[in-house]
Amino acid sequence: MTLRIDRYSPLRAVLFDVDGTLADTERDGHRLAFNAAFEKLSLDWEWDVELYGELLAVTGGKERIRHYMEKYVPAESNKAGLDSWIASLHKAKTRHYVALLESGKIPLRPGVGRLIQHLRDSKIKIAIATTTTPENVTALLKSTLGEDSPGWFDVIGAGDIVPGKKPEPDIYLWVLERLGLPAHQCIAIEDSENGIRASLAAGLDTVVTVNDYTRLQDFSGARLLLSDLGEPTQPFTVLEGDAHGAVWVDADLLLKLKD
Ligand code: XBP
Ligand code: MG
């Protein structure tokens, strides 16, 4: 089917979350980078897979470090200059994380590259709405989709540019404003409860693709809950909702979800 996208189309942009949605970046990406930064600063902290899953309740790396300190090393969390200490620890973490991405070890999740290309071909805008640091987004896109791929996105909203990180809707509202589009002409793709709370609060229909850290979370309000975005050779599994007989996500399916 040839899609006719004009200013009245019910679907003019797709807003992608990053961590857990574009790629499985948390367990073998961010977590390892945090641990490498701790080691570099001679801290005897180690975030194992299970503890990291618990810490993911707090979005944003700096916020996550502060939360960990308050809960597990409270004496340390009272020290003077804590904000700048956390900021420099987090800078080291970002350096490790970007190096890890540049080594090409973290691939996109199934269907992500295909859907991004298809939306571009269909003249549907694409955007990013994430709590992660901007350098991380650029490094992930370049290492998976190519050097010029950050330029494919009409808007990239990332990191500390808004006051409230997810589950606050701020980053989605920021991206919508820059796209110049109302929420009802857009759709969000998320992987976590904090993420969908943010997107729904911004008024966005939301498709969720779960991962190992998020599959048991509460996704009430999702238009569709899927294992992943699916590929023609690797169909998705529908966990909740009506996929209208589709086995991979494309613009046709996303448009049907807007009816
Ligand atoms: C997920 C996050 C991020 C990363 C860490 O965000 O909570 O904070 O875990 O990134 P999303 P930073 O799913 O919205 O992309 O350390 O750069 O904050
Ligand atoms: Mg996410």
The count of structural domains within the chain is 2
Q: Ligand 1 centre from 106 Cα, in Å?
A: 15
* pLDDT, tens digit (0-9, with 9 covering 90-100), for 34-58: 999 999 999 999 999 999 999 999 9
- 145 and 234 in a single domain? The answer is yes
CATH number at residue 226: 3.40.50.1000
- 36 and 147 in a single domain? The answer is no
- 119 and 199 in a single domain? The answer is yes
Helix (H, G, I), strand (E, B) or coil at 121: helix
Tokens (6 digits) for 158: 């990332």
Among 15, 19, 108, the mutation site with the greatest number of ligand 1 atoms within 8 A of its Cβ is 19
- Positions annotated as catalytic residues are 17, 19
Average pLDDT over residues 52-68: 97
- 61 and 72 in a single domain? The answer is yes
Q: Which residues contact 3 (CB under 8 A, 6 or more apart)?
A: 122, 123, 124, 251, 252, 255
Q: How many whole angstroms separate alpha carbon 238 and alpha carbon 248?
A: 10
| Residue nearest (by alpha carbon) to ligand 1 atom 8 | 60
Which of 102, 123, 158 finishes a domain? 102
Q: Which residues contact 66 (CB under 8 A, 6 or more apart)?
A: 77, 82, 86
Domain with 75 in it? 27-102
Q: Which atom of ligand 1 is nearest to the CA of 171?
A: 14
- 119 and 236 in a single domain? The answer is yes
What is the pLDDT of the chain when averaged over all its residues?
96
- 72 and 185 in a single domain? The answer is no
Which of 87, 102, 117 finishes a domain? 102
* pLDDT, tens digit (0-9, with 9 covering 90-100), for 70-97: 999 999 998 899 999 999 999 999 999 9
**pTM (2 decimals)?**
0.96
Does residue 2 belong to any structural domain of this protein?
no
- 134 and 253 in a single domain? The answer is yes
Alpha helices in the chain (DSSP H): 31-40, 49-55, 61-72, 82-102, 112-121, 134-145, 170-179, 193-201, 251-257
Q: Which residues contact 97 (CB under 8 A, 6 or more apart)?
A: 29, 30, 33, 136, 139
Do residues 175 and 155 make contact, with C-beta atoms less than 8 angstroms apart? yes
